Chain A
């Protein structure tokens, strides 16, 4: 590769990765407020983070919410995917488009729309309301992933199980489920991330007594620059990378991207 081109790519990669590098480095700071490079290097920011009750409660909510959303969307999403793949219900194409549609809408619009309806239903600022709101953005990923996975199991394999005496529930448990397990893991990771990272819709449906971690960070950084936030960001980035590894192990998506 020509040296000029190579230099350009290196610079561009630096631009692409700079924010993450800076955040990681700035988290190892003993300063009271954010400075880069830190005046005093150390782990004080992480220590402060552990004692920060506000962030702790936000983290709790985000984790619990993420868990519930993952469980709910995995269940109903996989069921819907199975119906789309294996049964002859009418309008399968339109139904799939319907399930995918939220991905094509700006979250600001989705958030406002939810605000309007939830205000009428009294779901604002409630955990169920948040579950519904986050499930909206998590479900499309689950349905699409599981649909591909189920389609990847040849129908003849399930039919073979039936001829050998397996009733439909046993066919699913003993044959289909083991074969779609990798996709289930990937879908779970994606659904969790979709909920855990969700900001805009959440802004519209939260209330005074219930808040998630991203929202807390959002309000916090509008007024302060604090190494604790860098530390928190590093933790969140680490969790994300962990989940990406889970997704990759299950589906080999790294190989797909690098092809």
Chain B
């Protein structure tokens, strides 16, 4: 099946400085929910605006259903856009706001009223149709902006960090609502955010970006479990980093040395190479003594204990560096450790992510 939306070789530079976006390629299937994820300044919003036609790329093409729309002006692209600051028309009521796109398409009267009504019902704002934007809360305004973008039945729905201006609780609520609506309508959606939990919970696929380039494109599980670069591993969830040298290598695995300690990992590596080993904090365990088996074990000393409600975080010293271990809280007192304890730090070799240095 050909891609619904395609970006080929998209690049954007301003002046002589480093390009804001470089060599961006993406193929989106119909009905997919894609998230562009990355820190501020990584170029994700730039890419979104290029898709919408609000910005012209320096090079590259944008194709919609096989057609080259790179030169097409914004108002002819039929893409719904939801802005971070909602961008509702202050001088129009919510109803007129939502109906605006229909007016531009020459749809008015009963037809427009019906479609506007349905869009407002979808976001549960029917009671507010006569109000002005400034009379609504942030969350309500965002839902109105969503209705406005959806009522025109756009080819693509674009959202630019729509939840960033809302408080945490509201963000979670709206996150679910948006995903639910998107699934129901089956609209191809591109979502931009810097919040990795939004990306992980909402997306079919995630595009991780940094410095204007794509670091990895994959579904949430793969992004989390099999990050392609140290940046992705570090950006998604928390990780521990160990700088290590490959001591010995065999078919089933390799032995790495970091500090005075050694541990094993899966995968074939060349002896003598320097690598970065990354392990997620919640994949590590602390034990009073080594339990045997083929888990990696390091001698560790507990520096700090932080109780975080659902988990306990231990800052431990091991292999010449500080590592973070996350354990679920347990009602059994005996499994808790204290500052200064000498313990064994264990984890499954398969949980180690290796990146060449």
- Interface residues of chain A, those whose CB is within 8 Å of chain B, are 154, 156-157, 159-168, 170, 174-175, 178-179
Contacts and interface: CB of A to CB of B under 8 A. Distances in A.
A163 B52 contact: yes
Interface string B41-70: 000000000001110000000000000000
Instruction: From B84, B85, B91, B105, name the one whose CB has the most chain A CB atoms within 10 angstroms.
Output: B91
Nearest to B100: A164
A164 B85 contact: no
Given A165-B78, A167-B75, A160 B104 contact: no
Interface in B105-152: 105, 145, 148-149, 152
A154 B85 contact: yes
Q: Rank and list the top 7 A-B pairs by shortest CB-CB distance, nearest first.
A: A165-B104, A164-B101, A156-B87, A163-B81, A160-B87, A162-B74, A156-B83
Contact of A179 (B53, B75, B91, B152): B91
Contacts of A174: 100
A157 B87 contact: yes
B104 A166 contact: yes
A160 B78 CA distance: 12
21 contacts: A154-B85, A154-B87, A156-B87, A157-B90, A159-B54, A159-B74, A159-B81, A160-B83, A160-B145, A161-B89, A162-B54, A163-B54, A163-B158, A164-B100, A164-B148, A164-B149, A165-B75, A165-B104, A165-B105, A167-B73, A179-B90
Contacts of B38: none
Contacts of B79: 163
Contacts of B212: none
A163 B75 contact: yes
Interface residues of B, number: 29
Given A156-B83, A160-B145, A162-B75, 10 more contacts: A154-B85, A160-B83, A160-B87, A162-B54, A162-B73, A163-B75, A163-B81, A165-B101, A168-B75, A179-B90
A49 to B, nearest CB: 43
B80 interface: yes
Instruction: From B83, B87, B158, name the one whose CB has the most chain A CB atoms within 10 angstroms.
Output: B87
Nearest to B158: A163
Contacts of B75: 162-168, 170
A170 B89 contact: no
A162 B105 CA distance: 12
A184 to B, nearest CB: 14
Contacts of A162: 53-54, 73-75
Interface of A is mostly: helix
A160 B81 contact: yes
Contacts of B152: 164-165
B82 to A, nearest CB: 9
A162 B91 CA distance: 17
Contacts of B85: 154, 156
Contacts of B73: 162, 167
A154 B84 CA distance: 12
Contacts of A154: 85, 87
B25 to A, nearest CB: 24
Instruction: From B78, B100, B105, B158, name the one whose CB has the most chain A CB atoms within 10 angstroms.
Output: B100
Contacts of A178: 91
Contacts of B91: 178-179
Contacts of A167: 73, 75
A115 B107 CA distance: 57
A163 B146 CA distance: 13
Contacts of A157: 87-90
Nearest to B90: A179
Contacts of A179: 90-91
B104 A170 contact: yes
Nearest to B91: A178
Nearest to A181: B91
A165 B88 CA distance: 15
A174 B89 CA distance: 10
A162 B78 CA distance: 10
A185 to B, nearest CB: 15
A161 to B, nearest CB: 7
Instruction: From B54, B105, B158, name the one whose CB has the most chain A CB atoms within 10 angstroms.
Output: B54
A258 to B, nearest CB: 24
B187 to A, nearest CB: 14
B316 to A, nearest CB: 47
Nearest to A165: B104
Nearest to A160: B87
Contacts of B88: 157, 160
B239 to A, nearest CB: 36
A41 to B, nearest CB: 51
Nearest to B74: A162
A163 B74 contact: yes
Nearest to B54: A159
Contacts of B80: 163-164
